Amino acid sequence: MTQPTTVDIFSPTFKANPYPTYVSLRDNQPICRIITPEGQPLWLITRYEDCLAVLKDDRFVKNVRAMLTPEQAAQFPPMPEALKPLSANMLDMDGASHDRLRSLVHKAFTPRLIEKMQGRIQTIADTLLDKAQARGEMEFMTDFAFPLPITVIGEMLGIPSDVYQQFREWTNALLNTGLTENVEHLLPVVQAFIDYLRELFEQRRQQPADDLISALIRAEESGDTLSEDELLAMVFILIVAGHETTVNLIGNGTLALLQNPDQLALLRRDPSLIKSAMEELLRFCGPLETATERYASTDIAIGGEIIPQGEMVLVGLASANRDPRQFENPEVLDITRQNNRHIAFGQGVHYCVGAPLARLETQIAFTTLLRRLPNLALNADSEAIAWRPSFVIRGLERLPVKF
Ligand code: HEM
């Protein structure tokens, strides 16, 4: 096995601009073993073809605990009790258990439901800009990028708006935690999240409403329904995956357009380019640095390396999306790019359930922004813009803008 790399993918310098490191890793160590600050080994995959291969290979599994021998399991840190109910979410499952949850969510989270949201998403975007417009400036993440997706998923689920800010704090705490860091300090946060949702479920069981939580309670496939813990895990994953990602695509995409004024001007001149522009922003600055972690269920040979059974694997989505073996001029933002086969929504069985909703939201967000704020500009030096410390999420701490 090759020696672990000395690249510190957890440092703020890497986070500020990981792309030169990705160039070097793709060329020299495309299947790269890294030791985390906590001393855990993990594998980072950086070439497009290898990333696709891992995402489509069912020997890389999500639920590591289900495939460990009793001896290996004894060495694995026990899962804190508070987290157990959330582990029943589809993104942490494999095979038939995963397929079952995915069919149940498809029963409730239908294309019709998403289409129905179009007018409402437009109203939410307009209302947020109405509030900001007179001020001539805003902190874009807090005033626009965050409230839009959380309001959309919150309203779809039927969650009252007074807790959205609380949700932001809960999910930020969860996602800013290192991959192999001890999670003890998060337990009160998770418990508060769980208690809140359980109470809401009780209300919906008593009094069903026209919302996704009520539909998930009713969702049934061949006589099968979600258990209470599965419902909790499903709503939890829809809230976390349903806003953290879209928030950061809107933030990263806006920054990328402001830093590439020719592309911004082109999109303003020809708004019909919005669909290819959005796909290009997903490729160029998608909100996930990597897919969520997978584990080798057996020793697996890939790209001249053997990934030993039980070790963690991260698929480098941001790197794959800039691999010159797949994309011409990958470091260039080109909103007219054709045949853009980016993997910002993943690939294979865990391909993003929310992709159609995310596309609809971001399309409305960018179109509305450009139409209503013709003088949109950065209100800070590019160097002063800080990235969130989370490894998996690629997102901005703050984005001051003026208009
Ligand atoms: C720009 C926005 C989004 C991006 C870039 C994105 C990206 C992804 C990616 C890469 C995965 C696969 C992760 C893996 O394989 O490890 C995924 C899965 C998932 N996403 Fe999204 N997502 C977005 C928005 C959403 C939204 C709006 C929702 C729901 C409302 C959502 C719900 C989910 C769920 C439930 C899964 C798990 C699917 C499964 O395990 O079968 N996502 N997403």
pLDDT of residue 20: 95
From 107, 245, 364, mutation site for ligand 1 pocket: most ligand atoms within 8 A of C-beta: 245
> Which residues, judged by CB distance below 6 Å to any ligand atom, belong to the binding site of ligand 1?
90-91, 102, 153, 237-238, 241-242, 245-246, 249, 286-288, 291-292, 344-346, 350, 352-354, 357-358
- Domain 12-402 superfamily per CATH: Cytochrome P450 (1.10.630.10)
Q: Which atom of ligand 1 is nearest to the CA of 347?
A: 15
User: How much is the pLDDT for 342?
Assistant: 98
pLDDT at 83: 79
What is the atom index within ligand 1 of the atom nearest the CA of 234?
Answer: 35
* pLDDT for the residue 187: 83
**Residue 17 CB burial class (10 angstroms; 0-12, 13-18, ≥19):** exposed
Please check whether residue 183 is in contact with residue 177, taking contact to mean a CB–CB distance below 8 angstroms: yes
Q: Ligand 1: which atom is nearest the Cα of residue 101? A: 41
Rounded to 5 degrees, what angle do the CA atoms 36, 42, 48 make? 120
Give the residue, by CA position, lying nearest to ligand 1 atom 17: 352
CA angle (92, 95, 96) in 5-degree steps? 110
Neighbours of 262 (CB within 10 A): 10
CA 128 to chain centre: 23
pLDDT of residue 295: 94
Number of H helices, E strands in the chain: 17, 10
Longest dimension (CA), the chain: 63
Burial of 314 (0-12, 13-18, 19+ CB in 10 A): buried
- What sign results for the dihedral spanned by CA atoms 97, 240, 291, 2? negative
Q: What is the pLDDT of residue 303?
A: 92
Residue 139: its pLDDT value, please?
A: 96
Tokens of 209: 């409403």
Name the residue with the closest Cα to ligand 1, atom 27. Answer: 242
Residue of the nearest CA to atom 32 in ligand 1?
Answer: 354
* pLDDT for res 224: 85
- What's the rounded Cα separation, in Å, for the pair 240 and 194? 13
> Dihedral of CA 173/176/177/179: which sign?
positive
Q: How far is residue 269's CA from residue 364's CA, in Å, rounded to a whole number?
A: 17
Ligand 1, atom 20: closest residue by C-alpha: 352
Question: Do residues 80 and 183 touch, judged by C-beta distance below 8 A?
Answer: yes
- Positive or negative, the CA dihedral 133, 139, 144, 147 is negative
- Distance from residue 133's CA to the centre of ligand 1 (Å): 32
User: Which atom of ligand 1 is nearest to 362's Cα?
Assistant: 1
Q: Where are the domains of the chain?
A: 12-402
Q: What pLDDT was estimated at residue 37?
A: 77
Name beta bridge partners: 300: 307
Assess contact for 101 and 109: CB atoms under 8 A: no
What one-character DSSP code corresponds to residue 224?
A: B
**Tens place of pLDDT per residue across the chain (403 aa):** 555 566 777 788 888 899 999 999 999 999 999 988 778 889 999 999 999 999 999 999 998 888 777 777 777 777 778 778 888 899 999 999 999 999 999 888 889 989 999 999 999 999 999 999 989 999 999 999 999 999 999 999 999 999 888 888 888 777 776 656 667 777 888 888 899 999 999 999 999 999 999 999 998 777 888 999 999 999 999 998 888 899 999 999 999 999 999 999 999 999 999 999 999 999 999 999 999 999 999 999 999 999 999 899 999 999 999 999 999 999 999 999 999 999 999 999 999 999 999 999 999 999 999 999 999 999 998 878 889 888 889 999 999 999 9
Alpha carbon distances (Å) from 347 to 57, 68, 100, 199: 10, 25, 18, 35
Rounded Cα–Cα distance for residues 304 and 124 (Å): 50
Count of CB atoms situated within 10 Å of the CB of 212: 24
